[in-house]
Structure 1
Amino acid sequence: MPLVTIVALCFNHARFLEAALDSILAQTYPHLEVIMVDDASTDGSADILRRYAAQNPSWQLLLLPENVNNCRAFNLALARTTGEFVIDFATDDVLLPERVAQQVAHFAQAGSRCGMVYSDTELLDEAGQFVRHYYRRDAQGRLHPPPASGEVFADVLARYFISAPTMMMRRATLQALNGYDETLSYEDFDFWVRASRDWEFRFFDVVTTRKRLHPRSKSASSYRRHDPHLASTIVICRKALALCRTPAERAALAVRVRWELRQAVRYRSRPEARELYKLLQKMQAVRPLDWALRRLS
C-alpha cells in the first residue's frame, strides 16, 4: 500500500481550516503522511494548526516566519516528506472521504507512466453552499467538453481543463521537475506544461473534492494591471514553446497565447500584451486580428 503525502497549505484560512483538516482525518485510506504548512497567516490559523498537530502526533507542522507564497511553501514541505503520491491541498477546500483511496486505485490501473490523476469538483460559495460542478454536462449527462486523458501536452497548451485542487501527483514526476518553479506567482499551469511533456495525465470521472470560490482569489484578480499572474503565464508560455516538438503543438500554444493576448488587451495590461504579441511573432503565428489587438493595447 503506497504512502500518500498530503501537503496542507494554509494562508489566512482560519474560517475554513477545521473543516479542511477534519476531511483529512475522515479519509478511508490509512497510509497517509500529513504536513501542515502555515505561510505566515495573520488570522489565528497557526493556533488551529498547533492544536491539530498536538492531537495528531504523526502529523508534521511547519510554521513559516514570513510569507513565501504557494510555490516556495509547497517545495519546503515536500522536501520533508516521502510519500509515493502527493496532494497539494489548500486548506479552504475539503477532501471527500474516499478521495485518496480512489485516486491511488486509479494510479494502479493507469500504470507507471501516469504522473498525475485528476477528477471532478463540487464548487462552493464562501458560505459553503453548492454552486455547480467544475465540469459541465449535456442533457444526457456527458461531459462537455470531455477532459483529456493520456498524452495531453497539446491539450494543456490550448485550454484550461484540469481542476487543480483534485490533483494527485506522482512524487517521481515532481522530483523530475525539481518541484514547483518558485519564480512564478502560481503553480498549476507550469506543472501541467512541464509534467505532461513526459508523463501521462488521467481523468477520473468522480467528485473527490469540494473547492471554495472566493471573489478575491488570485484567479479572480488575474489580468488586472500589475498583477503578477499574467507575467508568470508569459514565462510559462515561453517554456512551453521550448518544449514543443511538432507543428500541432505549436499551433495549440498559439491558441493559448492568442487568448492571453485578448485578456491583456481587455484589462489594459499593455506591457504584457506587447510580450504576448512578440511571442506570437516568434512562433510565426500572428493573425490580422492579433495585430489589431496589439494596436489597441
Structure 2
Amino acid sequence: MRQLEKPLVTVILTALNQEKYIEETLTSVFYQTYPYIQLIVIDNASTDGTRSVIETFKAKAPAFQYIQNPFNVGLCKAFNQGLLVAQGKYVIDLSGDDIMIADRIEKQVACFEELSSDYGVIFSNATYINEQGRKLNNHYVIDRNGKSLEKIPSGDVYKNVLEKYFICTPTMMMRTESLNQLGGYDESLLFEDFDFWVRSSVRFKYFYQDEILTLKRVLSGSLSSHVYRKGSGMLASYYAVCNKAYDLNRDQREFDLLAARIRTFIRKCLYAQEFELALRFRRLLNYIENPGWQTEFIVLLCRLHLPVNFAYRFYIKNLRKAFIPEGFSF
C-alpha cells in the first residue's frame, strides 16, 4: 500500500440542531487545500433539519463517515465516538456551525510537523461571525499585517489556562496520540474545553500560530450562554475541573491562580442561584487559602438564597450588551 506523503488529519464534526449552518461547515472541510483528510460527522439526535442536510450533502459528496445518534449523548461523548475511529495523526474538533478557512489544515499540519513530539496542541486566531455570517471581531486584536497585538502564551501554558480563558476552542488542532493518552474528553462533563486545557497543558506544550484560520459563529443560545442559568449543570462541570486542577498543580503560583479562578466561580454561583455549589467551591478554596471577607460575604449571600438570577440575566441580556462589542464572549 502506497504510504501517504503527508500525515492524515481527522476532522470530527459534531452537530446538534444546526440546520442553517451545517452545509457551509461541511463545504469548508471539502474545500480544504490539504488533501489527506478523514471526515467523521456525528449528528447528536438533531430535532430540526440538520440530518436531512447532512444526508443530502453525503449523496453528492459521500467521502465521509456518518454517525447518527438515536438520542443526544452529550458533546463530549459524541466527540469520543469519532475519536474511537479516528485514523489521523492529528485531530480537529469542529462544531456544525463554524467554518474553516481553506488553507487552515495545510498550514496547521506544516506547523505541527516542525514541532517536537512534546507539543500536543496548536491553536490560532479566529474571526467571530454572527448568525448571518457577518464578521464581528477577532479573538485577538490584530495589526495591519494580521498579527496579534498582544503576546499570546505558547509552550507550557498550564498557568495561563488556570488564570483566564484565552484559547479559541475551534481553532485547535490536537495530536491524536496526546488525546488518546488523556482518554479523550471527560464524558461526565457538559463541555470539553476547560477540562481538556487543564488535563492536556499540564502534560503537553501548546503552540500559538499567529493567523486567522477559523470563523467562529456566535449564537445567542450557545452552550456558553447557559452558565448563568440555574440548574444548567455548567458550574457543576467547572467545579469538577477545578478539583482536577487542584490535584494536578505543581507549585504555589498555580494554586494562587486556581484560587482566583474559584473566586470567580463562587460569584457566578450567586448569579445563577447555585447556592449549594457555591459552598462546595468555598470549601475547595479553603484548602488553598483563607477565602477572605469579600468571598465570605458572597458566600453569605448564597446562604441567604437571594433570588438574583432573573435580575442578573436581565442585566446580561439588556444592559451589559450596550457596553460590550457584539460577538464578545463573557
Which of the five TM-score ranges fits, normalised by the shorter chain?
over 0.9
Is 1:272 matched up with 2:272? no
Report the Cα distance in structure 1 between the residues aligned to 2:224 and 2:157, rounded to whole angstroms. Answer: 23
Q: 1:237 touches 1:257 (CA, 8 Å); kept in 2?
A: yes
Is 1:262 matched up with 2:267? yes
- Secondary structure of 2:191's partner? coil
TM-score by length of 2: 0.86
Unmatched segments (≥5 aa) in structure 1: none
Q: 2:147 touches 2:210 (CA, 8 Å); kept in 1?
A: no
Letter of the 2:255 counterpart: R
Is 1:294 matched up with 2:323? no
> Match for 2:252 among 239, 247, 250?
247
Is 1:120 matched up with 2:125? yes
Q: 1:147 touches 1:162 (CA, 8 Å); kept in 2?
A: no
- Secondary structure of 1:222's partner? helix
CA drift of 1:58 comes to 2.7
4+ aligned runs moved over 6 Å, structure 1: 138-142
2:158 aligned residue: 153
2:52 aligned residue: 47
Unmatched segments (≥5 aa) in structure 2: 1-5, 303-330
Q: How many matched pairs?
A: 297
1:24 aligned residue: 29
Is 1:169 matched up with 2:174? yes
Letter of the 2:222 counterpart: S
Q: 1:223 touches 1:269 (CA, 8 Å); kept in 2?
A: no
Letter of the 2:64 counterpart: W
1:2 aligned residue: 7
Report the Cα distance in structure 2 between the residues aligned to 1:294 and 1:14, rounded to whole angstroms. Answer: 42
Is 1:182 matched up with 2:172? no
Report the Cα distance in structure 2 between the residues aligned to 1:137 and 1:259, rounded to whole angstroms. Answer: 28
2:209 aligned residue: 204
Query: Which one is further off, 194-203 or 274-283?
Result: 274-283
- Secondary structure of 1:110's partner? coil
> Match for 1:85 among 74, 81, 90?
90
2:16 aligned residue: 11
What RMSD, in angstroms, separates the aligned Cα atoms of the two structures?
Answer: 1.6
Letter of the 2:275 counterpart: R
Query: Which one is further off, 194-203 or 108-117?
Result: 108-117
CA drift of 1:224 comes to 2.0
Is 1:65 matched up with 2:88? no
Is 1:228 matched up with 2:229? no
1:94 aligned residue: 99
Letter of the 2:216 counterpart: K
213 and 258 in structure 1: CA distance in 2 versus 1, 3 angstrom threshold: same
Q: 2:146 touches 2:211 (CA, 8 Å); kept in 1?
A: no
2:114 aligned residue: 109
CA drift of 1:86 comes to 0.3
- Secondary structure of 2:122's partner? strand
Report the Cα distance in structure 1 between the residues aligned to 2:146 and 2:41, rounded to whole angstroms. Answer: 37
CA drift of 1:181 comes to 0.3
Report the Cα distance in structure 2 between the residues aligned to 1:224 and 1:96, rounded to whole angstroms. Answer: 33
Q: 1:35 touches 1:59 (CA, 8 Å); kept in 2?
A: yes
2:320 aligned residue: none
Report the Cα distance in structure 1 between the residues aligned to 2:142 and 2:265, rounded to whole angstroms. Answer: 26
CA drift of 1:50 comes to 1.7
Letter of the 1:67 counterpart: N
